[in-house]
Structure 1
Amino acid sequence: MEKFTDIESLLPHRKPFLFVDSIDSYDDNGCVCTRKFTDEDFFFKGHFPEYPVVPGVILIETMAQGGGAALSLQKKFDEGSLFFLATVNNVKFKHQVRPGDTVRMEVVNKRCTKNMVVQEGKAYVGETLCAQAEWMCLVGKGDNK
């Protein structure tokens, strides 16, 4: 399977809040995605300037974006669907992620319906587990009403 890199065709997120570089593999059970964090990422300017670290909430968002992008690639939802993070559980941060680190996200699909997704994921730098979490996203259309 070839890496898929046109993530903007799958998610509504855009820079500076798009945190998936590629989907490396996927099937009905889950996916593997990657994201390289660089000095250019906006949050490093304030978290922490003297010792920049990827915020934990960004690691969770990165895993959720990867999982959602892979489901979109597989056309599991209507075109234009949005994923709204609803719950996050069993979060553990095990190791810091710093500028220059490439994070490999391994995401498992636990439940997937037309309106809801439950996934769990682990984020690694090399073989080092950095973060893990479970989350649920509600799936729908953006309504300003």
Structure 2
Amino acid sequence: MQGDSGFCEGLCVELSSDAAAIRCALEQVMASGPVLRLAPDLSARLQLVLAEVLNNVVEHAYVLNAGRIRVSVTVQPAGIECCVCDSGCPMPDGRPPTGALPDWSEGEPPEGGFGWFLIRQLTSGLHYRRQGMCNELRFRIDLN
């Protein structure tokens, strides 16, 4: 694929909304040619962010039913562009969570609540929209 900003390569993976499918999809993305050519720290960031996003889709968007998820990943000179689409429930208030860290005031580490913090820390250009019955989350993982 050739874009305005120079050379880029992409892939698209479709999966069902369950934990086993997430594992297989992540393995497929990480084993793809464009991702294999990335620096190890960049591919690790991609894997962590995609795992968090996909698990959120399964746990929250498809809480009432099962469905399909489409993930597209495009490696460009400036970074990795990602898009995750599903037809599950929309995000509350029509936007992703703020990514605030959970409250540790009780002394015990909280059970969860770090996903959106990590997603927001490791990405840029995070954008969510609901079109008809489809959720679309776009983000970029910058090279620098």
Structure with a larger share of its residues in strand: 1
Q: Normalization by structure 1: what TM-score?
A: 0.35
Of structures 1 and 2, the larger Rg is shown by 2
Structure with a larger share of its residues in helix: 2
